[in-house]
């Protein structure tokens, strides 16, 4: 396959925003083009990751809508949906299109507008990423799904919710240095102890928020990356894997087999191992998910992710910095944008452009983006430079 | 790019069906595997075209759902959405994945379940494929959109609705020989004259029906096609293009510029011209759309498509057989399945397996799949044999 590089990255702020879906997506796209020093007419295709604009804003067929808004006349524009991994899957799809040789310059956008619906509606819409016929329709929404995982993890490895506190406090702390983050609010164990219970053992501070936002990347054939304005970041490897949507069809709840499989594929393609990763953005839709992710990705052995979080091994200056952006927990989680936003953050980190949240000396970064409770998992590995 | 071939094709019957979305999608997938003589473990990735399962059946994240139902453990499974061109776009995306060299054997499925919602709900859901903020929300649903096109075409070229009658009668006639078709009912000009007006000048028989259904294809690297059971059909070329969703942003209504652009791209990649096409499946969501399609594809000059339809040039034994399957009009239009179903029909035609609807001597076929009112257009050209 032809090598692929990222030459432009951008995000809107995440949060409850005034702008419409098309305004957010176009703003991210324009900013990524500006970052790359590219013009709209350079773009040969658009891939757009978005979860459920049909239910959130009565608008399907969003890819040509956004292409037209950006002034990309007649470019092939394709939406990719894989729940909260829509962004990661759109990115992989775009990589394949460049790798195939059909396009040299491709724009990838992730976008979601989630705050135009009521909280009850939004909860139902999100539950449609789980198995509606077999689980969601009888009331198992995502906080419940991840609460079951947290209980299983506690029971199997002997933890209490201290480990969840450590993740929430770290990610809120990290987000203080991220201008794109939804929350700029340091939290304490006391804050968490006083916060409302959502689904035992998960409290408000264990849950990622409902967010609007968009993120974008400009992908090019690696051998053309030097034509663009910013230092390139190359795509070393990626992997995607699937699993059943319904939890009852899984053998265990303390690991996501599809995440392990996606990570193995990405490590194999990249030719690196977990020890080579300098910084990772992982899918902490709930705090327990970050702990399980650090094990599924091979940073820690099964059952040791909790202790590692407690010991600070995942802080910005720790053994493996996890979610320096603030993660979904504090940066925000506009679901279709999330996977693209993770990669934008890695681009900033690997270029040394991450400001006060910079992980010193980061040369290889990993993104872990999951859909639903892990029925889709996408792992991507990026490295500084164009590899020449 | 590495050459791609189709070695398996299947469709469910289209219509108002008892089966659920996942049952339909899995049935088509299993039948395509059987057609190819392939096993589930041969499949390395799944691409699923589907328009709006989130609104139709409260189920997003359908790609891993269908992968699990088919017993494809941990395969990368990705949904592609581009309104009624979701199937065509999923196919192109899958072609790129094989062309890139990442996968050798890929399953493409298109599926939709549209009859679980009320007619009013279904009409609203379909209108979300147009520009909701700028046109659909004020009442411009798709029959209205295509009625405007029909009036513009009549006015510009001096036709009456006779040309629409010719399309409807031909496609209903063709569907009589298609076991997968929703309607097996020959119609006359009198039937049409007596049918209810939907949006002037379009009557009931000008409109494709609301349908459930699924279709599937097995794609492989062309140089491995001989390992499979059936004679291969190779992918000669494909093109996709976009346009604004809103009609008011278009310069004219008697052509779809994105269809012309997609066709040009496909012809160029395939190295063929309109005169080389032996059979075409085109997107007759409304009868007027078929006439405009035959001009956009270069079969007839602008304004001559109407006369050609009246003269029988598009019948199964005419100059260029259009929609021998019965088309969306009479075969049915389960929107996400349609683009994949068109290609399945071409595979049957090019293998000589199309039974009583066989176009004699067909060696090169073309599919034309549009989303919305042409904001997405996908054109694909297939040829008999593996090209060796």
- Convert B311-323 into a string of H (helix), E (strand) and C (coil): CCCCCCCCCCCEC
Q: What is the pLDDT of residues A328-345, one digit of tens each?
A: 999 999 999 999 999 999
Task: Please check whether residue A243 touches B, CB under 8 A.
Answer: yes
Tell me: pLDDT of B386 over 80.
no
Mean predicted confidence (pLDDT) in A132-144: 93
With cut-offs at 50, 70 and 90, classify the pLDDT of residue B266: very high
3-state secondary structure of A316: coil
Burial group, residue B111, by CB count within 10 angstroms (0-12, 13-18, 19+): buried
Chain centre to alpha carbon of residue B18: 22
Task: Please check whether residue A20 touches B, CB under 8 A.
Answer: yes
Mean predicted confidence (pLDDT) in B61-67: 98
Torsion angle in degrees (nearest 10) through CA of B196, B202, B208, B210: -50
Closest residue to B129, CB basis, from A2, A46, A61:
A61
Task: Report how far residue A191's alpha carbon sits from residue B324's, in angstroms, rounded to the nearest whole number.
Answer: 68
Mean predicted confidence (pLDDT) in A56-70: 98
What does the mean pLDDT of chain B come to? 97
Chain centre to alpha carbon of residue A108: 14
Domain definitions of chain A by residue range:
4-118+210-233, 129-209+234-383
Taking each helix axis as running N to C, give the angle between helix A257-270 and helix A287-296, from 0 to 180 degrees, rounded to the nearest 10.
50
Q: Which residues pair with B45 in a beta bridge?
A: B106
Question: Which residue in chain B is spatially nearest to A124 when comparing CA positions?
Answer: B58
Q: What is the pLDDT of residues B334-371, one digit of tens each?
A: 999 999 999 999 999 999 999 999 999 999 999 999 99
Closest residue to B243, CB basis, from A46, A74, A132:
A74
How many Cβ pairs closer than 8 A exist between chain A and B?
207
A4-118+210-233 and A129-209+234-383 share one CATH topology?
yes
Q: Which residues of A touch B133 (CB under 8 A)?
A: 20, 22, 59
Backbone torsions φ then ψ of A308, nearest 5 degrees: -65, -40
Tell me: pLDDT of B388 over 70.
no
Q: What is the pLDDT of residues A10-54, one digit of tens each?
A: 999 999 999 999 999 999 999 999 999 999 999 999 999 999 999
CA triple B145-B147-B149, angle to 5 deg: 75
3-state secondary structure of B103: coil
Taking each helix axis as running N to C, give the angle between helix A162-175 and helix A287-296, from 0 to 180 degrees, rounded to the nearest 10.
90
Task: Report how far residue B293's alpha carbon sits from residue B11's, in angstroms, rounded to the nearest whole number.
Answer: 24
Strands B279-281 and B364-371: parallel
Closest residue to A100, CB basis, from B75, B96, B371:
B96
Tell me: pLDDT of A388 over 70.
no
Task: Report how far residue A41's alpha carbon sits from residue A221's, in angstroms, rounded to the nearest whole number.
Answer: 17
- Put simply, the answer to whether A20 touches B100 (Cβ < 8 Å) is no
3-state secondary structure of A286: strand
At residue B156, the pLDDT reads: 98
- Put simply, the answer to whether B241 touches A80 (Cβ < 8 Å) is no
Strands A364-371 and A105-112: unpaired
Task: Report how far residue B25's alpha carbon sits from residue A113's, in angstroms, rounded to the nearest whole number.
Answer: 29
Tell me: pLDDT of A107 over 90.
yes
Query: With contact defined as beta carbons under 8 Å apart, do A302 and A295 qualify?
Result: yes
Q: What is the pLDDT of residues B97-149, one digit of tens each?
A: 999 999 999 999 999 999 999 999 999 999 999 999 999 989 999 999 999 99
| H-helix or E-strand spanning residue B258 | helix B257-270
CATH number for the region B130-209+235-384 comes to 3.40.47.10
Task: Please check whether residue B55 touches A, CB under 8 A.
Answer: yes
Q: What secondary structure, in 3-state letters, does A112-140 show?
A: ECCCCCCHHHHHHHHHCCCCCCCCHHHCC
Is this complex's ipTM strictly greater than 0.90?
yes
The superfamily CATH assigns to domain A4-118+210-233 is Thiolase/Chalcone synthase (3.40.47.10)
- The count of residues in chain A is 388
Q: What is the pLDDT of residues A317-330, one digit of tens each?
A: 999 999 999 999 99
CATH number for the region A129-209+234-383 comes to 3.40.47.10
């Amino acid at each position: 396959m032809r090598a692929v590089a990222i030459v432009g990255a951008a995000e809107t702020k995440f949060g409850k925003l005034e702008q419409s879906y098309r305004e957010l997506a176009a703003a991210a796209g324009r900013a990524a083009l500006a970052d790359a020093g590219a013009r709209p007419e350079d773009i040969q295709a658009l891939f757009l990751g978005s979860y459920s604009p049909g239910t959130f804003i009565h608008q399907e067929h969003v890819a040509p809508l956004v292409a037209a808004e950006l002034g990309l006349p007649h470019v092939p524009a394709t939406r990719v949906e894989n729940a909260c991994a829509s962004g990661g899957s759109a990115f992989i799809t775009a990589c394949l299109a460049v790798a195939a040789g059909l396009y040299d310059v491709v724009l990838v956008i992730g976008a979601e507008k989630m705050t135009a619906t009521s909280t009850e509606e939004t909860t139902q819409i999100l539950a449609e990423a789980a198995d509606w016929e077999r689980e969601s329709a009888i009331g198992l929404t995502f906080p419940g799904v991840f609460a079951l995982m947290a209980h299983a993890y506690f029971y199997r490895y002997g933890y209490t919710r201290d480990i969840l506190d450590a993740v929430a406090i770290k990610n809120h702390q990290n987000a203080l240095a991220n201008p794109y983050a939804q929350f700029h609010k340091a939290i304490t164990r006391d804050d968490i102890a006083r916060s409302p219970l959502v689904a035992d053992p998960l409290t408000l501070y264990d849950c990622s928020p409902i967010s609007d936002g968009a993120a974008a990347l400009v992908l090019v054939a690696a051998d053309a990356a030097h034509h663009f304005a910013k230092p390139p970041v190359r795509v070393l490897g990626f992997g995607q894997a699937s699993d059943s949507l319904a939890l009852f069809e899984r053998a265990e709840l303390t690991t996501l087999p599809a995440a392990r499989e996606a990570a193995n594929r990405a490590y194999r393609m990249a030719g690196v191992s977990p020890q080579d990763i300098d910084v990772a953005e992982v899918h902490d839709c709930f705090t327990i998910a970050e702990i399980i992710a650090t094990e599924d990705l091979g940073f820690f052995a099964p059952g040791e992710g909790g202790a590692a979080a407690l010991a600070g091994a995942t802080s910005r200056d720790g053994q493996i910095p996890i979610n320096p952006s603030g993660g979904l927990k504090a940066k925000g989680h506009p679901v279709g944008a999330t996977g693209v936003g993770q990669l934008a953050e890695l681009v900033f980190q690997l270029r040394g452009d991450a400001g006060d949240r910079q992980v010193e000396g980061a040369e290889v970064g990993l993104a872990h983006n999951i859909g639903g409770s892990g029925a889709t998992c996408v792992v991507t590995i990026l490295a500084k430079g164009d590899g020449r």
